[in-house]
Amino acid sequence: MSDVFKALADPTRRQVLQALKRGPKSAGELAGAFPVSKPTMSAHFAVLREAGLITAERQGKSILYHLNVSVLEEALLGFAGVFGLGSDANPGDPS
Amino acid sequence: MSDVFKALADPTRRQVLQALKRGPKSAGELAGAFPVSKPTMSAHFAVLREAGLITAERQGKSILYHLNVSVLEEALLGFAGVFGLGSDANPGDPS
DNA sequence: TAGACAATTAGCCAATTATCAAATTATTGT
DNA sequence: ACAATAATTTGATAATTGGCTAATTGTCTA
């Protein structure tokens, strides 16, 4: 879970996740949308992959990245829940 | 907002926030609860302060730290909302 | 005001991170 | 098999981070 928050600490990586919201995109397509080199983007993809936030799927010459919403949800809402935030009834200790 | 996610990237800092869930605690009290030196904890407090996640209040010799839940909520649920996660109806574009 | 206590700041080091250009791997089409 | 395309890996470097000890600042009390 720490890996997820570490991954989310970088603005570029958060934007990559948002870019994948609508559906999978290729590494090149994503790289083209940010003002950094392809190798740098590749490193960001690796961080996101290792956190489980995205998954890679080879499609011919390209590699398609998919957002893994459930991992994001578990981390974000899970942590929020500890503080009694979010939709939940009251999983945070109400003592 | 990036400051908040950066602050949340460190496990010790996340635990500090949880420790403050029940109410304010002094710097020393918090420092005593973690296996790192006081100066190191002080640096963590500074990061949390600059992110707006905690606020400091001098109380005699001690400094009391308060959790600022609203900042946490805004960051966590705000970002989650972008992905259509959370309690919200559907603020995420449902097109 | 001197001493004790609480916390931060200063100064340093090791490890990690973000970045790039160049080289490498993998795949497709000729 | 070769050339072209897509992406990653390698190798280098600068900046940031997390940690420590020692020194400093601020506050209380004797």
Per-residue model confidence as pLDDT tens digits over A19-41: 999 999 999 999 999 999 999 99
CA of B53 to C1' of C2 (A): 38
Q: What is the predicted pLDDT for the residue at A93? A: 73
Question: Does the CB of A82 sit below 7 A from strand C?
Answer: no
Residue B90: pLDDT above 90?
Answer: no
Q: Mean of the pLDDT values across residues B25-36?
A: 98
Residue A88: pLDDT above 70?
Answer: no
Q: What is the predicted pLDDT for the residue at A89? A: 62
Q: What is the predicted pLDDT for the residue at B89? A: 61
d(CA A60, CA B10): 38
Residue B92: pLDDT above 70?
Answer: no
Q: Count CB atoms within 10 A of the CB of residue B93.
A: 9
Spans of all domains in chain A: 2-82
CB A76 to CB B76 under 8 A?
A: yes
Paired tokens of B18:
């949880």
Mean pLDDT over each residue of chain B, to the nearest integer? 95
Which residue would you say has higher pLDDT here, A86 or B70?
B70
Residue B94's pLDDT band, with cuts at 50, 70 and 90, is confident
The beta-strand segments (E) located in chain B are: 25-26, 54-59, 62-67
Which residue would you say has higher pLDDT here, B83 or A88?
B83
- Output the CATH code of domain B2-81: 1.10.10.10
Quick one: A84 exposed, middle or buried, by C-beta within 10 A (0-12, 13-18, 19+)?
middle
Give the mutation candidate from A3, A85, A93, A95 for the B interface (greatest B CB count, under 10 A). A85
Class of domain A2-82: mainly alpha
User: How far is C-alpha B22 from the geometric centre of its chain's CA atoms?
Assistant: 13
Paired tokens of B31:
């420092």
Residues of chain B with Cβ-Cβ distance to A17 below 8 Å are: 83
Q: What is the predicted pLDDT for the residue at A92? A: 66
Chain C: nucleotides below 7 Å from protein CB are 5-11, 17-22, 26-28
Q: What is the predicted pLDDT for the residue at A44? A: 98
CA of A11 to C1' of D6 (A): 25
Residue B91's pLDDT band, with cuts at 50, 70 and 90, is low
